[in-house]
Amino acid sequence: MYSVYYILSHIPYFFTILFIVNMIIAFTIIFLERKNPSATLAWIMILFLLPVVGILFYFLFSQNLSRKKIFKLTKFEEEVISSSLQTQITEMKNGSYVFTTEAAKNWKDMIRLNQVYGRAFFTEDNKISIITDGHHMLDKLLEDIANARNTINIQYFIIKNDLIGRKFIEALTDKAKQGVEVRLLIDAMGGRQLSKRTACIRELLEAGGQVAFFFPPNFKFLNMKLNYRNHRKIVVIDGEIGYIGGFNIGKEYLGMKRKFGYWRDTHLRVLGGCVQDINARFLMDWRFASKEELVLSEAYYSEIIKAGCTGVQIVSSGPDEGKSQVKRGYMKMITSARKNIYIQTPYFVPDNSILESLKMAAQSGVDVKLMIPCMPDHMFVYWATYAYAGELINSGARVFIYDKGFLHAKTMVVDGQVASIGSANFDVRSFKLNFEANAFLFDEEEAYKMEAIFETDMANCHELTKSVYRSRGIPIKFKESIARLLTDLL
C-alpha cells in the first residue's frame, strides 16, 4: 500500500521532469540543429503528443551529421581533385573541350552543376549495360567476380544471410583464397543479419578477405544512428569493371519471396573512366568504416582503356555535408526538361522543391510520367507516396502503378538525352538522411533504352487516374493525412 501511495505521490514530479526534457530537446531542435520548419514542427508535435515515445524517437532518429564531414580528404588528395575538376571546368567554359555526344553538349550546364556542386568529374569513354533483372545481375556479377585477378571492392546496403547472400559471400571467399584482395563493406543496419561472427563472414575473413560495417551499433542490440545509413550499392573489380544501381543481395531481389513476387530493379554494369570515380567513392567509404590507411590514388592505379563514348558523372551525397547533391541533379533535370520526364521510384515522398518542380513541368506541357509500386514494403511511406502522386495527377502528370511485382528501380530519363540510375529514391530520406550514389548518363542511345524500358514496364501497370484517385475511401484519405504529417520523419 505504501509503495502504491509513494508512486502516485511522485507522478507529478515525473511529468515535470518529462516536460523539462521535452523543452530542452525542442530548444535543441529549434535553435541548434536548424532543421527545416516542417521537420521542426513534426518533431515538436511528436515530443509533446507522445512524450516518452517522442524522446526515444529523437535519440534514435534525429541526430544531425550536417556539421560532421566524415569522409575527409588529405591535403594532397584535395589539391589533385580540385585541380583536375578546375581544368575540366575551364576547358568546357572556353570551348576547348570536345564532347562525344550531342546529349552531353546540350546538357553541359548540368555537367557544370555536378562538377561545381557535386565535385563530380565528367568522363565520356564509357560503355554502359543496363540490367533490370535480378538473376541476370547476379549471374553477371558472379561471373566478373570469378574472373577477378587483383582486387574486388564491394559495398551494399543489404546483404541477406540467406541462400543468395551466402552464395555471394562464398564466391568472394573463393577469390580471397586465390590471393585476390577482397574488401566487403556492408551497412550495419541493412546488413544486420550478418556480423563478423556469422559463419560465411568468418570464413571470408579466415581466407584473407576484409570486412567492415558502416556505422555499427553503439550497443549490442541498439544502433543510435538509425537514420544515417549507407544506401549505396557499388562494386569495382580490378579497377576496370563497375556496378552501380538499386539491387541489393538476397532472395527477394531475385523474385524468390512470395510477398514481393517479381522484383523489378535497375542496375548498371560499366566499363571506362567512370569506374575510377566509383572506386574512389568506395575507397572513401571503406577508409572511414574500416580505418584502413588508404590513399585515393589507389582508385587510379589501373589504366582505363576507352570502352565506349557514353558520358557519365558519378554523383554521391550524404547527410554529413548537408548539400543533397543527387537531389540537385534531379532538380536540374526536371527544370530543364522540354519534352518528357519519366520517373521510376519505390518511394515518392519529395520535398517541396522537387514536388513543385514536377508540378510546374507538367503544367508547362512537359509529359511527366511517374511509376510507383502496387504494394508497400514500408506502410507509412506507401501512403505518403500515394498522397504525393495524387498531387501530381491534379497538376497534369500521369501516374502508373506497377502490378507485376515490386518496383524498386530509382531512375529518371529526360528528353531522350539524359538519365539517372542509382541508389537515391525520390524521397526526403535519400535527399537528406542516407548516403547515396547515382550515375548521370549523357547519351541519346542509353536514354532511348531507358525510355523503351519505361514504356515496356507500362504494359505491366494500371494508371492511377484523377477519377480513381478521387474515389478513394475515407480510410485511405486518413492514412494519407497521417503519412503526410510525418513526411519529414519517414
pLDDT at position 50: 60
Please enumerate, as own/partner, the contacts of 299-306 that have beta carbons within 8 Å and a separation of 24 or more: 299/239, 300/276, 301/239, 302/238, 302/239, 302/240, 302/276, 304/125, 304/240, 304/272, 304/273, 304/275, 304/276, 305/240, 306/125, 306/272
Considering the domain architecture, whether residues 138 and 284 belong to the same structural domain is answered as yes
Residue 439 in domain: yes
Which percentage of the chain shows pLDDT scores above 70?
A: 80
Residue 352 in domain: yes
**Total structural domains within the chain:** 3
Q: Is 231 designated active site?
A: yes
pLDDT at position 254: 97
- Choice among 108, 175, 231, 327 that is catalytic: 231
pLDDT at 225 over 80: no
Considering the domain architecture, whether residues 450 and 481 belong to the same structural domain is answered as yes
Q: Is 75 designated active site?
A: no
107: cell is 546538357
pLDDT at position 324: 92
pLDDT at position 32: 45
Confidence of residue 21 (pLDDT cuts 50, 70, 90): low
pLDDT at 485 over 70: no
Q: Is 416 left (phi over 0), alpha (psi -120 to 50) or beta?
A: left
pLDDT at position 424: 97
Confidence of residue 422 (pLDDT cuts 50, 70, 90): very high
Considering the domain architecture, whether residues 304 and 176 belong to the same structural domain is answered as yes
pLDDT at 263 over 50: yes
- Choice among 108, 410, 432, 479 that is catalytic: 410
- Choice among 187, 351, 415, 488 that is catalytic: 415
Of residues 315 and 21, the one with the higher pLDDT is: 315
Final residue before a domain boundary, out of 258, 284, 309: 309
pLDDT at position 470: 87
5-9, 77-81, 152-156: which has the highest mean pLDDT? 152-156
pLDDT at position 199: 97
Q: Is 10 designated active site?
A: no
Considering the domain architecture, whether residues 268 and 132 belong to the same structural domain is answered as yes
Of residues 213 and 221, the one with the higher pLDDT is: 213
Residue 102 in domain: no
Residue 87 in domain: no
pLDDT at 447 over 60: yes
Q: Which of 54-58, 200-204, 476-480 has the lowest mean pLDDT?
A: 54-58
Residue 342 in domain: yes
pLDDT tens-digit series, residues 110-158: 999 999 999 999 999 999 999 999 999 999 999 999 999 999 999 999 9
34-38, 78-82, 105-109, 225-229: which has the highest mean pLDDT? 105-109
Mean pLDDT of 235-251: 97
Confidence of residue 30 (pLDDT cuts 50, 70, 90): very low
Considering the domain architecture, whether residues 179 and 297 belong to the same structural domain is answered as yes
Considering the domain architecture, whether residues 249 and 362 belong to the same structural domain is answered as no
Residue 37 in domain: yes
CA gap 231, 248 in Å, rounded: 10
Residue 193's contacts (CB-CB under 8 Å, 6 or more residues apart) are 159, 160, 161, 162, 165
Considering the domain architecture, whether residues 361 and 464 belong to the same structural domain is answered as yes
Confidence of residue 1 (pLDDT cuts 50, 70, 90): very low
pLDDT at position 15: 52
205: domain CATH number is: 3.30.870.10
Final residue before a domain boundary, out of 19, 35, 61: 61
Considering the domain architecture, whether residues 142 and 242 belong to the same structural domain is answered as yes
Structural domain including 391 reads 325-489
Q: Is 403 designated active site?
A: no
Q: Which of 293-302, 330-339, 440-449 has the lowest mean pLDDT?
A: 293-302
Q: Of 446, 461, 362, which is closest to residue 412 (Cα–Cα)?
A: 446
Considering the domain architecture, whether residues 301 and 440 belong to the same structural domain is answered as no
Q: Is 233 designated active site?
A: yes
Of residues 134 and 23, the one with the higher pLDDT is: 134
Final residue before a domain boundary, out of 41, 61, 81: 61
Confidence of residue 6 (pLDDT cuts 50, 70, 90): very low
Confidence of residue 31 (pLDDT cuts 50, 70, 90): very low
Considering the domain architecture, whether residues 141 and 282 belong to the same structural domain is answered as yes
pLDDT at 390 over 50: yes
What mean pLDDT value characterizes the chain? 87
Which percentage of the chain shows pLDDT scores above 90?
A: 67
Give Cα separations from 353 to 204, 291, 425 (angstroms).
45, 37, 15
Confirm if 240 and 302 have CB atoms less than 8 A apart: yes
Confirm if 156 and 249 have CB atoms less than 8 A apart: yes
CA gap 466, 393 in Å, rounded: 6
Residue 437 in domain: yes
pLDDT tens-digit series, residues 160-194: 999 999 999 999 999 999 999 999 999 999 999 99
Q: What is the pTM of this model?
A: 0.86
Considering the domain architecture, whether residues 290 and 331 belong to the same structural domain is answered as no
Mean pLDDT of 90-109: 94
CA atoms within 13 A on the CB side of 418: 27
Considering the domain architecture, whether residues 305 and 334 belong to the same structural domain is answered as no
Q: Is 105 designated active site?
A: no
- Choice among 108, 160, 175, 233 that is catalytic: 233
Confidence of residue 53 (pLDDT cuts 50, 70, 90): low
- Choice among 35, 175, 369, 408 that is catalytic: 408
Q: Of 75, 190, 270, 163, which is closest to residue 435 (Cα–Cα)?
A: 190
Residue 78 in domain: no
